[in-house]
Amino acid sequence: MYNISVIGTGYVGLSTGVCLSDMGNNVTCVDIDEEKINKLNNGQVPIYEPGMEELIEKNTNANRLSFTTDLKKAVKDTEIIFMAVGTPSNEDGSADLSQVREAAKTIAEVMDDYKIVITKSTVPVGTNQMIEGIIAENTDQDYSVVSSPEFLREGSAVYDTMNPDRIVIGYRDEKAGETIRDLYKDFDTDFVMTTIESAEMIKYASNAFLATKISFINEMANICERVGARVEEVAKGMGLDHRISDKFLNAGIGYGGSCFPKDTKALINTATEVDYDLKTVKAAVHVNEYQKLTVVDKLQGHLYDLKNKNIGILGLSFKPNTDDMREAPSLKIIPKLLEGGANVKAYDPVAMENAREELPSDVEYCSVSKEVTEEADAVVLLTEWDEFFELNWKEISQKVNNKLVIDGRNLLNEDHLKDLGFKYISVGRGS
């Protein structure tokens, strides 16, 4: 059992803190955002994440988990300090490390004995060395810095934190590496004990690879549409080769979220800094931007003119089971539809509140999913929420102006929709 503090209560920090407490450790989660901490202390979770609320309740009741804005006290009482602050993109695509610098300085200033500072935030190669430098400048105490990047997915953050494919531990000081290895001793998974620089690279290389895999299958889908092949069957046939695997081969309207867009750009930026032209990842980013707008092209192809057309949008978040709108394809697609003169009605089970802050004000939000389909000239599915699969398409077919469905995620039952007389357009299914 360890005394741990976690700085930053975003997806990564909160999942790390909550899961470490559930493993029996004493955890204090710290954030400068008072409103967030007040919410958490009242049992409210600031993000939508299945399973999180129950775990917070369980572990706060067991007095193993607490939330505070008092960084000084949290650091003083703990031997291991997890850093999980945000690293958003700068204008030029590089990672903005100001929160990391600030946190490292504050930790150093309040340190009163040996501490292990472990970085969970996704940070470019060289950042942990920078953190070591900042701590050294601001304290006389002993410390070790460890890099242990996080690979959790939003929407399954708790499950992924508890069931990781691997745990990467980058360290310089043997004892610190062993302590963190011991912290995770109950995990039945592969451990990668490595250098700090390799640990930093593993995170970026993994995300860049996955983003490239998605862009690759999306391009295959675009070809399939033109040559009369079906991308799911192509992906299945490819994925049976263990070297390829069938994971992350779902064609769609491009990746979004807080990681792939940001991390691909940051890796390109790191490469540029060392005078290297990272061609594959640049291409993956380029394809992803193109892919989002294939929905608009398909709509235009079938409706000819978007002006005054009623478009019903199902799903706004970048993927299901999250209210996260960061880099969601809907943020690119909906403004294009409005620019073309369309009337847009939209529905999302949980992301509408966040969407209102990001999307133009002329979007009309509906309180139930079937409302977006009423009098629609086209229904467009952008996020594969389960509830859209359950919709009564027979009933919908009687209320639309035009039986056109564009499925950006290949979620719906193609045969059923076609039997009902819909013109059903999906991704990568040529005829």
Binding positions for NAD(+): 31, 36, 87, 122, 154, 262, 326
- Contact call for residue 177 and ligand UDX (CB under 6 A): no
19 tagged catalytic: no
Give the whole-angstrom CA distance, residue 294 versus residue 429. 14
Total of residues contacting ligand UDX (CB under 6 A): 19
Nearest to 407 by CA among 394, 391, 422, 426: 426
From 8, 170, 256, 315, residue interacting with ligand UDX (rule: CB under 6 A): 256
The least CB distance from residue 44 to ligand UDX, in Å, is 22
Helices 52-61 and 11-22: crossing angle in degrees, nearest 10, is 50
Q: Which residues are annotated as a binding site for substrate?
A: 151-154, 203, 248-252, 256, 319
User: Which span (101-109, 152-160, 221-229, 305-313) binds ligand UDX, by CB under 6 A?
Assistant: 152-160
From 82, 143, 260, 424, residue interacting with ligand UDX (rule: CB under 6 A): 260
Tokens 């000819």 belong to residue: 304
Sign of the CA dihedral with 345 first, then 351, 353, and 356 last: negative
* DSSP one-letter code for 269: H
- Contact call for residue 153 and ligand UDX (CB under 6 A): yes
- Contact call for residue 388 and ligand UDX (CB under 6 A): no
What is each CA distance from 187 to 149, 160, 175, in whole angstroms?
Answer: 16, 12, 19
- Contact call for residue 151 and ligand UDX (CB under 6 A): yes
Helix (H, G, I), strand (E, B) or coil at 114: coil
Sign of the CA dihedral with 411 first, then 413, 417, and 422 last: positive
Out of 29, 224, 259, 366, the active site residue is 259
Contacting ligand UDX within 314-333 (CB under 6 A): 318-319
Give the whole-angstrom CA distance, residue 64 versus residue 60. 6
From 15, 127, 250, 343, residue interacting with ligand UDX (rule: CB under 6 A): 250
Query: Both tokens of residue 293?
Result: 């707008």
- Contact call for residue 248 and ligand UDX (CB under 6 A): yes
Output the residue with the shortest Cβ distance to ligand UDX: 259
Residue 190, C-beta contacts closer than 8 angstroms, at least 6 positions apart: 165, 166, 167
* Contacting residues toward ligand UDX, per CB under 6 A: 150-154, 207, 210, 214, 248-250, 252, 255-257, 259-260, 318-319
Catalytic annotation, residues: 259
